[in-house]
Structure 1
Amino acid sequence: MGEELELMLAKIIETSNNNITITDEHGTIVYSNPTHWTMYGLEADAYIGKSVYELEESGVLSPSINALVLKEKKEVQILQHTTSGKVVMSTGFPIFNKEGRLVRVVSYSQDQTEIVKLQKQYQQLQSKMAGYQTEVEELREKEASHHPILFRSSTMQHIFTTIQRVAKTDASILFLGESGVGKSTLARYIHDQSERHKEPFIEVNCSTIPETLFESEMFGYEPGSFTGAHKSGKQGLIEQADQGTLFLDEIGELPLSIQVKLLKVLQEKKMMRVGGKEERHVNFRLITATNQPLKKMVDAGTFRFDLYYRLNVIPIRIPPLVERPDDIPILLQHYLQLINDKYNVEKKLHATTYDLLVHYEWPGNVREMENLLERLILTIEDPVIRPEHLPIELQKTRKEAVEYPTSFDANREEKKTLKETVEEVEIEMIARAYQQCKTTYEMAEVLGVSQPSVMYKMKKYKDRLRLNTT
């Protein structure tokens, strides 16, 4: 090799961003990148002229990639563990002369310590999540609940604690809240946790029964009591709930005439079928729900005050989703999985779609969320549900929309590479997630990535992120 060529090779290796080591056929180091040995906790250029076998024997290289290539006479890749605690990925390549004799070995090394650490953290997180999932499944089986109550917000935690405290009793419960917040699910949960869980749970939506049929539906009727009546009569919904739970949803729609009769049933534990002469004893636990202001209806005379106070023993207001945003991510994950399983598909949410759904105000609450996800999963052919698949009104109602580049303008004054553009978007999204979330785990959920990835990117962009930590 000529002197100029050798100098040029030495300079290339010296200035390279890669960690390069070249040995001769005897394993003697002839060239080495100055920063290469810092990964092994040693001074740069301290081992030019040293034998890799000697370094391997002393424990500096464990093992030596160049020594392995000399032995195998082919490309080799290994993970090394240094005395300084680092994990190094090394790849070695043999160099043969014209006669086919191995004359040099060139190896490249990369510090993988941080990546291995992130992988370990990710595995630990996966293991922990699997453990949590197992605990949840065991809890569901133990409680025999077909309607899991999913929440993360402190508001719902307080409500859930109250529900657990009163579930074992027979106290009347009145759920207040907007349509779709999950009142019927909570009523079912209370029944499942009560002493009556083996008995019927009868749910009645008072807004769906015509007033003319209400009495016969609720109290039943005797044979021949009116034109069109079944010849053997019919058992009413109140009788069907005997020994179990009667859940009257939309109780504010209950006609005044039925309110009087219902109050008598609650007071006397007796009822009579339409056209009947014999009172029947009934024993049920009553749960009611409404999205109407019953107190104002009492003041206006459209709802009986004595029935109101009979129902209002334990009032529980269920807040809309807009007041408990912490619950939205876990509900999204639950219903996405539930509907995927239902239709045997594996649709996923794009990170931006997920972000839009998390920040949507959900005027229809949980019911709207479930219906929207089901519609998207059934009507979108792509395996990934993207922002453009969402309804227009949903895309426009996000409180703090993130601006994403939608096209590349070759004529713009400030030309940026794809990498630079991607980095800018990542930095913007991380900064917004940081302001919105309390932990890196919540940030990961919002961004649609793993928590170790969030940590890595925050470290990567720490000098460019404008994080308000005050």
Structure 2
Amino acid sequence: MQDDILVTDTDGIILKVSAATEGIYNMKSNEMVGRSVYELEKEGIFTPILTPLVIKEKRKITLVQTTNTGEKLLVTGIPVFDANKELVRIVSYSHDVTELLNMKKYLTDIEDEMERVKSELELLRNLQFDSDGMIATSIKMKKVLQLALQVAEIDVNVLLLGETGVGKSHIAKFIHKKSSRKDGPFIEVNCGAIPEALFEAEFFGYEAGAFTGANTKGKIGLAELAEGGTLFLDEIGELSLVDQVKILKFIQEKQFYRVGGTKLRTVDFRIIAATNKDLEKAVEEKTFRHDLYFRLNVVPITIPPLRKRSTDILPLIEHFLAFFSKKYNRERSLDEGVIHLLLTQEWKGNVRELINLIERLVVTSPKQLIEIEDLPNQFRKSFTDVTSVDETNRTLNEILESVEKQVLIKARKRYKTTINMAKALGISQPSVFRKLKKHKIE
């Protein structure tokens, strides 16, 4: 066993010790077995002793013990009873001072983080979970939302940048909800989903009889619907150069004509645009107009991919697991192994991919506890690569140890610090420290 375990009878005679105990008390196990803990205390091997306290109280006791080398140990003694409820053994285990010091550092870091959060409370008071799944646990995401709040009350053009699925539309809605235009409409235009031939008619609207197949009463365009609110141009990088010219003129003048119309119309709106493309590169390649780029890029906000805000993954999993369980009336929970596996994924589809997976698991899982075998093939593959073994060659404990080591290695590479690893893996920082030491991971 990797832990320090010591077993005595009710007279304090040591019956068994684990190998780890030798290093802690600087004595060989055969020198300890058969001796009394009372004698060892008198010799200064360790003090105080737990045995008399456990015998007296007949319950679990924890105290701080000092060894002959001056180390401080947090020692816990547990009583063991026989079938007649008679006390027959006392089992004790300890944690050395290194783990305690790391625990203290961890708590200090938490206290510092709490103070920082308190100082930002007035600004971030509205940043809570909602049905849109707005998660702001990581420092990077909090900075994004803080900047979004700062620009929300000012009618300045905002350009949201980030990979597909990071939540650009959620941030756009967030800005709208926190702005003075919150009571106005939020009109989303997917520039990549409207065919070029139909874009002008859909965006600006058209008059009756403007073209063959047109509605006989005409149609109000998306731009006109945004009166008094926010116009969100999603996937702006997909617009053709011809449509870019029209959008630029519209943004500059906030005036337009419907297709087939002669009446100049004016609309009051706030522009938010978004793209997953590198617009600077597109400008250099002359596939995106530089004047439109500079018009949109007044306040750029880059939303980090999920793999770079790893501390948001677990809260997102928990939030959407609860959300979809309630939505579909199917109470579901995730096995610890599933959680650890999801925390180590690349999430190329970002938050959208994670949401889709959680919804799929809630809907398709036949039992309350979702386990590894319930995951789609592409997620199970990384687990299978680690655990596929000839069962005659390795025991279950050896397989689990191997899996734990692989998870820790991946987490170490991705999260760097033990504090970030602990947050991502859902365990304490001292536990991470101990496991790294056990597996000899630098």
Confirm or deny a common fold (TM above 0.5).
Answer: yes
1:284 maps to what in 2? 269
1:195 maps to what in 2? 180
2-structure distance, mates of 1:244, 1:233: 23
2:258 maps to what in 1? 273
1-structure distance, mates of 2:320, 2:419: 20
Q: Secondary structure at the match of 1:316?
A: strand
User: CA offset at residue 337 of structure 1?
Assistant: 3.3
**Which region of structure 1 is more displaced relative to structure 2, 148-157 or 244-253?**
148-157
Alignment of 1:331-342 (within 5 A): 331-342=316-327
The question of 1:221 aligning with 2:195 is answered: no
Report Cα offsets for 1:113-155 as digits up to 9, x if no partner: 87xx99xx9xxx9xx9xxx9xx999967677965353245554
Unaligned 5+ segments in structure 1 are 1-9, 19-32, 45-59, 69-76, 96-104
Contact 2:54–2:79 (CA under 8 A) maintained in structure 1: no
2-structure distance, mates of 1:297, 1:212: 22
The share of aligned pairs that are identical, in percent, is 39
AA at the equivalent of 1:108: R
1:466 maps to what in 2? 440
Match for 2:428 among 422, 427, 451? 451
The question of 1:378 aligning with 2:363 is answered: yes
Q: Secondary structure at the match of 1:403?
A: helix
Contact 1:78–1:91 (CA under 8 A) maintained in structure 2: no
Judged with a 3 Å threshold, the aligned counterparts in structure 2 of structure 1 residues 179 and 391 are, in CA distance, closer, same or farther, namely same
2-structure distance, mates of 1:347, 1:454: 27
AA at the equivalent of 2:386: E
2-structure distance, mates of 1:81, 1:392: 46
Alignment of 1:291-440 (within 5 A): 291-395=276-380, 403-404=386-387, 406-409=389-392, 412=393, 422=400, 426=404, 429=407, 433=411, 437-438=415-416, 440=418
AA at the equivalent of 2:274: A
Report Cα offsets for 1:382-433 as digits up to 9, x if no partner: 434444444444455x6x9983365520xx4xxx765566556556655665
Judged with a 3 Å threshold, the aligned counterparts in structure 2 of structure 1 residues 383 and 81 are, in CA distance, closer, same or farther, namely closer
AA at the equivalent of 1:16: L
The question of 1:254 aligning with 2:239 is answered: yes
Contact 1:81–1:88 (CA under 8 A) maintained in structure 2: yes
Larger radius of gyration: 1
User: CA offset at residue 248 of structure 1?
Assistant: 0.7
Contact 2:13–2:35 (CA under 8 A) maintained in structure 1: yes
Alignment of 1:112-151 (within 5 A): 147-151=132-136
2-structure distance, mates of 1:375, 1:302: 38
Judged with a 3 Å threshold, the aligned counterparts in structure 2 of structure 1 residues 161 and 137 are, in CA distance, closer, same or farther, namely closer
AA at the equivalent of 2:368: P
Report Cα offsets for 1:215-264 as digits up to 9, x if no partner: 22212233444444444433221111111100011112334444333323
2-structure distance, mates of 1:295, 1:452: 41
Judged with a 3 Å threshold, the aligned counterparts in structure 2 of structure 1 residues 62 and 154 are, in CA distance, closer, same or farther, namely closer
1:100 maps to what in 2? none
Q: Secondary structure at the match of 2:89?
A: strand
2-structure distance, mates of 1:378, 1:137: 37
1-structure distance, mates of 2:220, 2:39: 85
The question of 1:242 aligning with 2:242 is answered: no
Contact 1:221–1:273 (CA under 8 A) maintained in structure 2: yes
User: CA offset at residue 196 of structure 1?
Assistant: 1.1
Say how many residue pairs are matched.
392
Contact 1:351–1:447 (CA under 8 A) maintained in structure 2: no
Judged with a 3 Å threshold, the aligned counterparts in structure 2 of structure 1 residues 87 and 295 are, in CA distance, closer, same or farther, namely closer
Contact 2:153–2:180 (CA under 8 A) maintained in structure 1: yes
2:15 maps to what in 1? 16
Q: Secondary structure at the match of 2:268?
A: coil
1:160 maps to what in 2? 145
Contact 1:444–1:451 (CA under 8 A) maintained in structure 2: yes
1-structure distance, mates of 2:416, 2:91: 34
2:20 maps to what in 1? none
2:156 maps to what in 1? 171
Give the root-mean-square deviation of aligned CA atoms.
4.8
1-structure distance, mates of 2:270, 2:194: 21
Report Cα offsets for 1:428-452 as digits up to 9, x if no partner: 655665565455554445545x428
AA at the equivalent of 1:451: S
Judged with a 3 Å threshold, the aligned counterparts in structure 2 of structure 1 residues 192 and 403 are, in CA distance, closer, same or farther, namely same
2-structure distance, mates of 1:431, 1:260: 51
Give me the TM-score of the superposition, normalised by structure 2: 0.69
Q: Secondary structure at the match of 2:273?
A: strand
User: CA offset at residue 180 of structure 1?
Assistant: 1.5
Q: Secondary structure at the match of 1:16?
A: strand
User: CA offset at residue 208 of structure 1?
Assistant: 1.6
2-structure distance, mates of 1:151, 1:394: 26
Q: Secondary structure at the match of 2:170?
A: helix
Q: Secondary structure at the match of 2:271?
A: strand
2:31 maps to what in 1? none
AA at the equivalent of 1:404: T
